[in-house]
Homo-oligomer: A and B are copies of this chain.
């Protein structure tokens, strides 16, 4: 069964900036979706900020296996309700791939619990993405590094939690470094952050970047049934305890009463 990958694009720079539109006539989300479509195992679609409910309705999310997120100048315009909905789906098992300036998106900050801040410089300098673990599924088919001729520099310190795995670390012409590929898990959902992808350069047309995105979709897909009960905090009644128990001492809750929370 193919993986349903939904590419979410902010779709603002493409409308406002001629350089960006020239590079991405179908939007950055369009270019990413086209790259994903080269993998027969992935069924990509797109949604944008301007869609009804940003294109992220309950129904649409329920049918999504992996969500890719690109946003930059309009993070604040994404509704909190939709962000909560996306977060819940990640907990249930939907994969999430956060791209470039998405480091500052509401959804990434919520899932990390940290500021997700970094340094930046828009000089079109050279970036060399070093592969830390060449046998990681996300690095499949790559050489020892990926060279990006023109990039926006993202520099450490990157205020995120210690990752599960550091997949890529980037070198910049101007003298900085950045942990450019990091994995996390939140609930049943796998999360991959990948930093290359500034809107004024043709980075999503780069063959190896496209390979990384396809790899990441395959990696982030969790085939387990959605863990919809993950937000429940069930009471286990005494008579259903696995070992015989008798009530001891005072209680706050009467039988069958709901917990707080």
Contacts and interface: CB of A to CB of B under 8 A. Distances in A.
Given A17-B252, A113-B111, A162-B185, A236 B179 contact: no
A169 interface: yes
Given A132-B157, A200-B250, A236 B171 contact: no
Contacts of A245: 123, 125, 173-174
A205 to B, nearest CB: 14
Interface string A69-82: 00011110000000
A164 to B, nearest CB: 7
A111 B160 CA distance: 11
Contacts of A124: 247-251
Interface in A103-162: 104, 110-115, 117-125, 128, 130-137, 140, 144-145, 147, 150, 153, 155-159, 161-162
A157 to B, nearest CB: 6
Tell which of A87, A122, A155, A176 has the most Cβ of chain B within 10 Å.
A122
Given A130-B177, A177-B169, A236 B114 contact: no
Contacts of A140: 224
Q: How many copies does the complex hold?
A: 4
Contacts of A165: 162, 185
18 contacts: A114-B186, A119-B235, A120-B234, A120-B235, A124-B251, A125-B245, A133-B157, A133-B188, A134-B227, A135-B222, A135-B224, A140-B224, A159-B187, A162-B166, A169-B169, A173-B243, A173-B245, A201-B249
Interface of A: 13, 17, 19-20, 72-75, 87, 91, 93, 101, 104, 110-115, 117-125, 128, 130-137, 140, 144-145, 147, 150, 153, 155-159, 161-162, 164-166, 169-177, 179, 184-188, 198-201, 222, 224, 227, 230-238, 241-243, 245-253, 259-261
